Homo-oligomer: A and B are copies of this chain.
Amino acid sequence: MILSKSFGYALRSIIYMALMNDTKRNVQLQEISDELSVPHHFLGKVMKRLAKNGVVDSTKGRTGGFMLNEHTLSIPLKELIILIEGDALFNSCVIGFKKCNEKNPCPLHYQIVEARNKMISTYAETKIGDLIIPNKAELLKSLLAA
């Protein structure tokens, strides 16, 4: 597993909300954690982070919950990854060398640079919205498969 659980929770939650947007104004934590089989309070922390950083909107109180905003689906996966788990995946050496670059390459540097760049550009170019396929049934199924 390359990406963190937290990121997986965040991504699935956003996609779930996108699916539910047709029928509901907002979606509550309870519903998301129930549907995606994710720990309620842990997801709460993840969603709080998303809300604080404008990835989603949130309201408290009796009819509170989370909702997507105009930016949400155009956010690149790379940005979401960095928001949730930091930029180590993109900025640090594969084997953790502090100073690893062209001038001072780690033993693996040149061998993996191509695959690494491919991965980075994939995450940079793919937006969350790109994951929303037209087939809603299949998409929903893919969210629950965990």
Contact = CB atoms under 8 A, between A and B. Distances in A.
Contacts of A123: 112
Interface string A62-81: 00000000000000010000
Interface residues of A, number: 45
A93 B3 CA distance: 9
A106 B142 CA distance: 5
Contacts of A83: none
The majority secondary structure among interface residues of chain A is helix
Copies of chain A in the complex: 2
B115 A1 contact: no
A1 B105 contact: no
A23 interface: no
Interface of A: 1-3, 5, 7-8, 11-12, 15, 77, 88-89, 92-100, 104-109, 111-112, 114-116, 118-119, 122-123, 126, 130-131, 139, 141-143, 145-146
